Structure 1
């Protein structure tokens, strides 16, 4: 790995605390609830590291910055955090934002462990500076496509907004389903109203509608329109990006939000560590923790292990990605190189397709695992 010149402030990594910079969407238009769960996981893990003595006797300090789902803001924040002397970066939920952060971290020579952003092409070129905990989008959405196909869906509509992330998801689904006799057609939400979406679904004889759109809007309006249209009583709606995972979905939609399958990155059973962390996160959040909160916790668990064993030198941290072997909340974490993915990748991330039980909307049902 070629090490670029150190950015301003890099020499201050050897201060009274060991600093980790954290990125999260904490204000709109970012998905604020996801940012809150991610931050809760990060903060809980930092507290536990410090309760256990910190890093070589120094407190671990989390320096949190709001990205507000803005790639340009994220890039500027990475510059700021590099100047503050952080040893590494953690976090982020939105893929297009994480991609901007990863590009800047790579340019500055700053290790970045991405918690929750799944876009396969997280960086334009292979890099040794970036690693990722969540699965690449292609793997997760292939599992979701398997679920759709196994449930008998052959004509699938996607209500999509313009986005690299949504376009990538549509392409993954189409490429995977077409050879198996399935078809995927796109409904452009920059041009259609929720009522017009219903008309298109009827005209196209779709059996499933996937919501590749932002939350709360237009996702909430689309769901309500489809639920209220008697012509579409048999259609299945899905949200592979995970919108129904968080409590805000249920509070916005009530019973209408149930029975909408989504991807969740949790195993059938958490590890013993995961069970303990789940309890602590539930108390911290005053609600059931989402998979995003576990991703945050595991991010710090990995970085703390690297800091203890390799120190705060940025190049040494990045060089150690392939040697990681950490017990996380959802399994043992190791990084490797994955074809088509330019960053170090945890390949063992568990993947489930779940929904909110129509009989008990507060309960999540596992429909499929991959």
Structure 2
């Protein structure tokens, strides 16, 4: 099925009154193509599978996509257009944390259901979370917490930190410092570098970190910023004899561009697409490669899982009415390429987990080795239920 970018259609809000279920998807395709093109392919594959199987209660899914230009104001504007002009039943999408927060607030104001895929900000689900917003991917705190056991094993005292200076990077750094300090009280954070997103001065950044003489490094940069950091760090020997713990770097979207510059041995979160051997992933991988003649990235898994979650939620609710969808998504369970997940009722967050492993340069490109899947159901990687309840009660 070809996915519509802009297709006029009669207004509808309930499955029983419409021949299609219209999903309005808002994202930063122009600003973040490395992640979002595979993500879009994952959505397309899921929509095709769902519709080929008869849709949801006999109704086909229709995806209507808008680009937000990497700007929160534009995201809200196009979301409003999707609701008022296209009469979509459900909103979905977003990539950058600041945009997701703007869309979440919009969903709350308009009382419309929103399923977020990629953004990791904990304000979507905890302090700042609202009943209208649900999320597929684990948040910043959770993914950082999943790296902490490996960081503690290193037994390094002096740490340098580098992160993009916006909500995601700030939250990742706060979580890393808090959790590592709790596990290893004698740890020191000797230098922090926080360049604006997309504006890394890699030379001065790497020099400042080198001058601090850290024993180990925590990195939260991604995309083009990560490539610049790695290139300059390799040139200046920053990583020689130093352990690096790095959020997101093992995702193919960010690992692939490093190619020959891939550093060996970084401890990272990521996605070893060719090493996941559970049946759900094998089926997804076969279908994805058959359709796109390419291997999936993490974005592919997120987009694919989002559409299947929407289909499962609408089927359970029997309608696309917002209140019914909210109730249906609480405790909603479904299979994904990473195995079964459930949406937690206390914070609207799915239990999807994360792979943690080490980077390795092999045949001129970066791969993830020595990896393990960290299950998102493990309470060790989340605040307690009482802490989450208190955070959400502040809204």
Q: 2:164·2:194 contact (CA, 8 Å) conserved in 1?
A: yes
Q: How does 1:1-370 map to 2 (within 5 A)?
A: 12-13=12-13, 14-28=17-31, 31-83=32-84, 84-122=86-124, 125-179=128-182, 180=184, 181-184=186-189, 185-189=191-195, 193-216=201-224, 218-230=225-237, 232-240=239-247, 242-247=248-253, 249-251=255-257, 253-259=258-264, 260-264=266-270, 269=276, 271-309=278-316, 310-338=318-346, 343-347=347-351, 349-360=352-363, 361-367=365-371, 369-370=373-374
Distance 2:65 2:270 in 1: 25
Q: 1:245 to 1:286 in 2, by over 3 A?
A: farther
- Matched residue SS, 2:58: coil
- CA shift, 1:356, in A, is 3.4
Distance 1:69 1:208 in 2: 33
- CA shift, 1:105, in A, is 1.1
- CA shift, 1:144, in A, is 1.4
- Alignment partner, residue 5 of structure 1: none
Q: 1:45·1:297 contact (CA, 8 Å) conserved in 2?
A: yes
Deviates further, 119-128 or 289-298: 119-128
- CA shift, 1:43, in A, is 1.1
Q: 1:266 to 1:227 in 2, by over 3 A?
A: closer
Distance 2:254 2:137 in 1: 22
Task: Give the alignment's TM-score, normalised by structure 2.
Answer: 0.80
Q: 2:255·2:366 contact (CA, 8 Å) conserved in 1?
A: no
- Alignment partner, residue 3 of structure 1: none
Q: 1:38·1:295 contact (CA, 8 Å) conserved in 2?
A: yes
Q: 1:67 to 1:194 in 2, by over 3 A?
A: same
Q: 1:261·1:353 contact (CA, 8 Å) conserved in 2?
A: yes
Q: 1:199 to 1:222 in 2, by over 3 A?
A: same
- Matched residue SS, 1:49: helix
Q: Unpaired segments of 5 or more residues in structure 1?
A: 1-8
Q: 1:277·1:329 contact (CA, 8 Å) conserved in 2?
A: yes
Q: 1:231 to 1:162 in 2, by over 3 A?
A: closer
Q: 1:152 to 1:273 in 2, by over 3 A?
A: same
- CA shift, 1:255, in A, is 1.9
- Matched residue SS, 2:92: strand
Distance 1:110 1:133 in 2: 17
Q: 1:312 to 1:226 in 2, by over 3 A?
A: same
- CA shift, 1:258, in A, is 3.6
Q: 1:244 to 1:55 in 2, by over 3 A?
A: same
- CA shift, 1:168, in A, is 0.8
The Cα RMSD (Å) is: 2.6
Q: 2:271·2:368 contact (CA, 8 Å) conserved in 1?
A: no
